[in-house]
Structure 1
Amino acid sequence: MGYSNLPLHSNDTAAMTLLMAMLSLLALLLITNLLWFLFHRFTLKPNTSSLSPPLPPGPVPWPIVGSIPEMIRQRKSRSLWVLSLVEKTKQGIACIRLGNVHVIAVTSPEIAREFLKTHDAVFASRPMTMANDYASRGFLPVFASPMGPQWKKMRRVVVSKVLNPVTLQWLLSRRLEEADSLVNEIYKRCCVHGAKLNVRNVAWQYGGNLWKRMIFNKRSFNGDDNEDGEYIEAIRTALSLVNAFCVSDYMPCLRWLDLDGHEKIMKRAIGIINKHHDPLIDERIESWRSIIKDEISTPKPRDLLDVLISLEDDNGKPMLSSEEIKAEATELIMAGFDNSANAAEWALAEIVSQPQIVKRAVDEVDRVVGKNRLVQETDLSQLSYVRACVREAFRLHPIATFNIPHVSISDVTVSGYFIPKGSHVLLSRIGLGRNPKVWDEPLKFRPDRHLNTGLDQPVLLTAKDLRFISFSTGRRGCPAAELGTEITMMLLSRLLQGFNWSVPRGTSLVDYLKSVDSFTSQPLILHAEPRLATHVYPMTS
């Protein structure tokens, strides 16, 4: 995400930080200019071997700093700047050297498949960035850990103990309760005459309550609590920085300067998140340890936090430290919040903007489910057209410009290009999903393109061919892709079944739908009215 779009505000120290940044950058540029001649004279050597593969095409870097000066000058979005450099090469791949790191950006599905399928084992690590350092308590949980023993340990825990089919089935009732609460709360707000709703807030509150119920057996978001708003905003901020292009990630010697101001913002955001999580986790750990100490029979886990705490190694000792438990719980919350809510919000916006799509989607829900009961998870596989709408939203309106970086653990040749060890490989969600060489009319919302004409196969939200990215794939793929599919489908299906949606008078969706950077666009505001009989709406507390 672009650093100029971060949601937290600057303070009175911003001017001093900016001055320090400018002075540091000026000194850095002077040094690089002085070294320019020496670099060309003594360091660069012609490539005399025709057998040596070249780096992917890209801008000519400065010595030492690479293209960091150009990156710093970006005022809108650094990620879109990187994407523009790929488009300029017309090769579907580009190499941008930032400091001593080769950043490899990809928009070609064929090349993407080479990275994450043919050479998946080489690109199974993660970068040790400033934002991930804070968010993961020092790279402890599964998504953020670099390749190594810690990642293998946490991946085994998450895949086999936390997100396995048995555990997810055990938590089904809580997901359904949250789906009922979603419909009930919207119904109470719009009742008979309808009301304008912030769809983004509705989607985030649903996802937040659902994941907090599964992890902490607690729901808290009702849209009226200032602390809840602070918590959600902190998660949004942290997520925006995890994928940001931060100067110190490529030149760690400059981290103490915090040239972008990212570290200060990230530290504050994570502090707010930890303030909400840590007391709950500390109390629960202490409770379990007291039970074990007093030799009381161990109770059955009530939620995913209990699962994490109750895990034991071969010696009967706790498998995870308190820091690992806190890090994994936070990571699951952060990973579960944004992607599903974003896809449902954009799908609803696109559906509402095209009356023929609204009718077809709602008719399908009515045909499969009817009007006398609400959609259940067992219905979702039969809602092929609604699934196609969600799949198209993932393609056209991804949550971020790029996926989380993969890091090469050795030198390798991919698609005829040399990829050095330590390179950061970024697959562009926008570049893949809107690639005109792959998709006909790529900027149009056309769910029919995803229907398997003539084939009796379900419409999947994942794309193993990497023509777009919904949930990541490969060794570092999302272990909760199936759960994410169910959550996204339930959210959109309940919204379509329970309410008639329209654009409020005096407003338009034109500007909203033109947004490229979906995470920082204005939230979707729509008018909602109940469309079912009163007795169908659940009256939850």
Structure 2
Amino acid sequence: MAQLNNLISWWWEVRNNNNKFTMSLVTISVLIFAILWYKFKYLSFKNGLPSLPPGPRSLPIVGFLPFLGPELNKQFTNMARTYGPIFKFYVGTKLHVIINTPELAKVVVRDQDETFANHNLTIAASIITYGGQDIAWANNSSHWRNLRKMFVHEVLSNKNLDACSPFRRNEVRKTIKNVYSKIGTAVNISEIAFSTETNVITNMVWENYSSDNGANGTQLGVELQMLASKIVELLGTPNLSDFFPSLAWFDVQGVAREMKKQLKKLEELLNNIIDDRIKYNSRRTEDGVKHEVKKDFLQVLLDLKDQKDATSLNFFQIKALLMDIMVAGTETTTTMIEWTMTEILKNHNVMKRVQEELSEIVGINNIVEEFHLAKLKYLDATIKETSRLHPVAPLLIPRSPSKTCIVGGYMIPKGCNVFLNVWSIQRDPRYWDNPQEFNPERFLSYEDANKWDNSGNNLNFFPFGSGRRLCPGLPVAEIMQKYILASFFHSFDWSLPNGEKHDVSEKFGITLKKLKPLIAIPSPRLPNLSLYV
């Protein structure tokens, strides 16, 4: 401010002294500056550099930050009506570009997928992933490709998923037994689904850890749910330190400090599991001979640690990968199960059709088995319709182009944040009839049902992403969502507590959670009560 006052005083003094030479020099300087700015801003576009996308006016320094609301998915959808299907705004020094149509999304995830394969690592994400050494946040590199290939091959191969089928069956049966013990009382759907998912994944990743160490699955599930929920909340918190790097040292909002606390808690859990496995491996040597044991995913990772080639891993990378599985795998699947149950309970005709299909395919005197799942077409359509209206990651993880490129005729600078507004695309009336209506039948009426899978093949519907950054945990997530929901609705009838109303209010973050947890009361549906034990 003092400098500005000095400049104004100097300019006023020059005018009063009628110094023609100085006035002329200043005038010429201003004209030259204006001409240079004009050439940079406009004439350079003639040399093949298009303009940035349109967008709202911003305030100095802070940019558009003061105008951002708590529900960005809805706000960005409304802004697209004003500025078009692709628009931009600044927050601090960071440029953000929002894409709201499948045609433009195709340019990002297909036509220029390699350019947009990086993720912009936030401070919170950097802390919890040891600087981006996991699958979700790591940039497109040989390390990331090796991690993803190993994860898909060792954990999510068809052979391994089939081998883990007994784990899933046992845990789902335990859950049904648990719910049966709560007949007539209120059940927190998120908590019980999370516990089931946690036990399945822990058995896939480090088989029998819970039983071998005396820590029961329920306790582990509760601990992990608290950790996962807090970590996801911090990942979705807008952090001033990301927008204004010069403020990062101050950690004004305490995001970095809080994420370090969560990392410490998660490390304690993971370190105990890893140390126990290393001690167990050392005890397996008898008479100098190492006995063969069945390898779970943790053992695969530990074996890779000792290799000296491109596939070798260090302890930080191992823990970052385990964090992805335990946090992202459990939190997203649980959120989707809760949303689907919410919509089914809210729409009585949908619940009736779901249960009629289960009675026909499974049989009222049988329990749900995994081989039934492929035949449950209406339940599958119901889950997809839920994913359409309530995508778990409404803006996905923002992409960051590795070089300046063109999308929709506009220049997208290297290193900016690019958001794909999946929430908006999947509710757009140009692509969906009555988009606000919950109607699972829309996914049964299309001629080619394969076009509407979860693999991002149809960019009118890609709740789990598309291209190189498609969610790698999709296969196990699909199985668990359908298996738990089928078992819940085949074994029980569900109702809301007296006086409770159906609520689909959303809580926006990096994941789209229910604002209020779903609490429901089960009652037995099967005539043979021995099926519950």
User: Which category describes the TM-score, using the shorter chain as reference length?
Assistant: 0.7 to 0.9
Partner of 2:419: 426
Once the two structures are superposed, the pairs formed by residues 16-165 of structure 1 within 5 Å of their partners are: 45-48=40-43, 49-50=45-46, 51-62=48-59, 65-71=62-68, 74=69, 76-77=70-71, 81-89=75-83, 91-165=84-158
What code does the residue aligned with 2:42 have? Answer: N
Shift of 1:195: 2.0
User: Helix, strand or coil: the match of 1:526?
Assistant: strand
Structure 1 residues 316 and 436: alpha-carbon distance in aligned structure 2, compared to 1, 3 A threshold: closer
Within the alignment, does 1:199 sit opposite 2:189 as a pair?
yes
1:346-385 alignment runs, 5 A limit: 346-385=339-378
Partners of 1:484 and 1:174 in 2: how far apart? 14
TM-score, normalised via structure 2 length: 0.85
Structure 1 residue 214 corresponds to structure 2 residue 208: no
Does the 8 A contact of 1:162 with 1:308 survive in 2? no
Q: Following TM superposition, by how much is the alpha carbon of 1:79 offset from its aligned partner in structure 2, in angstroms?
A: 5.8
Say which of 485, 499, 506 aligns to 1:515: 506
Change (3 A) 1:313 1:162: farther
Q: Return the alpha-carbon distance in structure 2 between the equivalents of residues 276 and 86 of structure 1.
A: 44
Q: How far, CA to CA, are the matches of 2:485 and 2:454 in structure 1?
A: 13
* Residues 112-161 of structure 1, C-alpha deviations (whole Å, 9 max, x = no match): 11110111010111112111112212211122211223212212221222
For residue 225 of structure 2, give the secondary structure of its aligned residue in structure 1. Answer: helix
Which of 524, 527, 531 lines up with 1:530 in the alignment? 524
User: In 2, Cα distance between the equivalents of 1:140 and 1:65?
Assistant: 31
Does the 8 A contact of 1:388 with 1:459 survive in 2? no
Corresponding letter in the other structure for 1:532:
L
* Cα pair 1:384 1:459 within 8 Å, conserved: no
Selected match of 2:225 from 224, 232, 244: 232
Which residues of 2 match residues 235-314 of structure 1 at below 5 A? Answer: 235-288=228-281, 296-297=289-290, 299-311=292-304
Classify 1:317/1:454 alpha carbon distance in 2 versus 1 (closer, same or farther; 3 Å): closer
Question: C-alpha distance in 2, partners of 1:293/1:222?
Answer: 31
1:189 match: secondary structure = coil
Structure 1 residue 290: Cα displacement: 6.5
- Structure 1 unaligned spans of 5+: 1-25, 31-37
Report deviation, 1:261. 2.5
Tell me how far 1:519 sits from its aligned partner: 1.6
Count the aligned residue pairs.
493
Displacement of 1:493 after TM fit? 0.7
* CA RMSD, 1 decimal: 2.9
CA contact (8 A) 1:187 1:537 kept: no
Structure 2 match to 1:401: 394
- Map Cα deviations across residues 195-227 of structure 1 (whole Å, 9 max, x no partner): 22111112211212221221122456766x5x7
Distance 1:183 1:381, change over 3 A: same
Residue 43 of structure 1 and its aligned partner are, at CA, apart by 5.9
1:317-354 Cα deviation digits (max 9, x unpaired): 98222222111111111121122222221111111122
- Unmatched 5+ residue regions in structure 2? 6-29
2:169 aligned to which of 176, 180, 202? 176
Which amino acid counterpart does residue 79 of structure 2 have in structure 1?
A: L
Alpha-carbon displacement from aligned partner over 1:375-420 (angstroms, at most 9, x marks no partner): 1221111101000000011111122331111110011111211111
> Match of 1:526, as an amino acid?
A
Instruction: For 1:338 and 1:125, locate their aligned partners in 2 and report how far apart those are by CA, in whole Å.
Output: 23
Is the counterpart of residue 497 in structure 1 residue 490 in structure 2? yes
8 Å CA contact retained: 2:96, 2:418: yes
Give the Å deviation of 1:58. Answer: 1.4
How far, CA to CA, are the matches of 1:253 and 1:456 in structure 2? 51
On the 8 A contact 2:199/2:221 being kept in 1, the answer is no
Q: Considering only CA atoms, is the larger Rg found in Structure 1 or Structure 2?
A: 2
Q: TM-score, normalised by structure 1?
A: 0.83
Shift in Å at residue 434 of structure 1? Answer: 1.7
- Equivalence for 1:188: 181
Amino acid paired to 1:528 = P
> Corresponding residue for 2:384?
391
1:497: Cα distance to partner?
A: 0.5
Kindly tell me: are residues 514 and 324 of structure 1, through their superposed partners in 2, closer, same or farther at Cα, counting changes over 3 Å? Answer: closer
1:54 Cα deviation (Å)?
1.9
